[in-house]
């Protein structure tokens, strides 16, 4: 039986030098618990599977890599982990940082170079944001690498705040209620996409990665333009959170508590077939009372 969390910091080189403070131990336990809950809640484990864990060099992907190795060590994640970094050719990208880090940590990995940056610069008109096309090209390459490596899942480091921001971006700009799900199948139908940090707050990822002194690579090497939609949404959410602490978590819980009968989409609820009856009959039919 593995020792308790309080008794160790050497379960893996990724944890060597972990702070011994009570606050860090509490933070680490919280991240592990939330990640384990998401993995179990959304049915991500296929025993004996191989996961391609995507590592950008940001705080979120470092946190993802570490917590997955902790769960694996505890016997709670019976899958093989392969870390992968896709070097997309951004000017100034420190190409040696991640390979050296992964070698030092003894993490099985693959480093892939694909100059998608030049494609994005060529295709996207000046003044427009690069993120959408960059993301599509990156995802296509990651799917290819996963297939070449015999992986059944591509695992991403998106956290609770990413998911919430995407919901509001779709609401404000896309005219739909949708976000990044914790688990999906790609369009080709041959790979899962997992987001095990779905319940983890961005703030916790930042605190963890910085406390561990991981070599963080910023996501602004491509000259990301100010005023991006995601940045605007983040500012709105920051304001709400400042005025009402805990608002982010309340809104995130709402994404897990959806009532199709109280929305307006006839594809999700049979409004045309809804019949009059007593309140008791409506409850029996699974139709919640209006409030």
Q: Any idea where the domains of the chain sit in the sequence? A: 5-254
pLDDT digits (tens, 9 = 90+) for 264-286: 999 999 999 999 875 544 444 45
User: If you count them, how many residues does the chain have?
Assistant: 291
**Sheet (strand 50-54) strand order:** 109-113, 80-87, 50-54, 153-155, 192-194, 183-185
The number of helix segments (H) and strand segments (E) in the chain equals 10, 6
Evaluate whether 48 touches 76 at the Cβ level (below 8 Å): no
Q: At 97, list the tokens.
A: 């940082």
**pTM of the model as a whole:** 0.87
Number of Cβ atoms within 10 Å of the Cβ of 128: 11
| Alpha-carbon span 140 to 134, nearest angstrom | 10
pLDDT digits (tens, 9 = 90+) for 104-131: 999 999 999 988 777 777 667 666 666 7
Residues in Cβ contact with 35 at an 8 Å cutoff, skipping those fewer than 6 apart: 67, 68, 71, 196, 197, 199, 200
Q: Which fold has domain 5-254?
A: Rossmann fold (3.40.50)
């Amino acid at each position: 039986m593995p020792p308790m969390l309080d008794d160790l910091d050497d379960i893996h080189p990724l944890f060597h030098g972990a702070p011994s403070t009570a606050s860090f131990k509490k933070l680490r336990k919280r991240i592990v618990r939330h990640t384990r809950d998401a993995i179990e809640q959304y049915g991500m484990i296929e025993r004996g599977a191989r996961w391609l864990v995507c590592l950008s060099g940001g705080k979120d992907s470092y946190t993802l890599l570490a917590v997955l190795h902790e769960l694996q060590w505890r016997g709670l994640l019976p899958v093989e982990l392969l870390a992968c970094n896709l070097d997309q050719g951004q000017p100034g990208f420190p190409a040696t940082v991640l390979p050296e880090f992964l070698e030092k940590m003894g993490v099985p990995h693959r480093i892939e170079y694909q100059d998608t940056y030049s494609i994005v610069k060529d295709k996207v008109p000046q003044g427009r944001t690069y993120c959408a096309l960059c993301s599509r090209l990156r995802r296509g390459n990651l799917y290819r690498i996963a297939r070449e490596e015999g992986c059944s899942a591509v695992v991403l480091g998106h956290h609770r705040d990413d998911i919430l921001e995407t919901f509001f971006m779709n609401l404000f700009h896309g005219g739909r209620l949708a976000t990044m799900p914790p688990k999906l199948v790609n369009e080709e139908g041959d790979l899962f996409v997992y987001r095990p940090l779905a319940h983890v707050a961005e703030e916790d990822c930042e605190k963890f990665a910085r406390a561990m002194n991981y070599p963080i690579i910023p996501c602004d090497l491509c000259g990301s333009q100010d005023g991006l939609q995601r940045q605007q949404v983040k500012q709105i959410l920051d304001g709400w959170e400042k005025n009402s602490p805990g608002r982010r978590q309340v809104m995130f819980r709402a994404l897990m508590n959806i009532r199709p009968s109280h929305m307006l989409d006839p594809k999700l609820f049979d409004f045309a077939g809804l019949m009059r009856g007593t309140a008791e009959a409506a409850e029996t039919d699974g139709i919640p009372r209006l409030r």
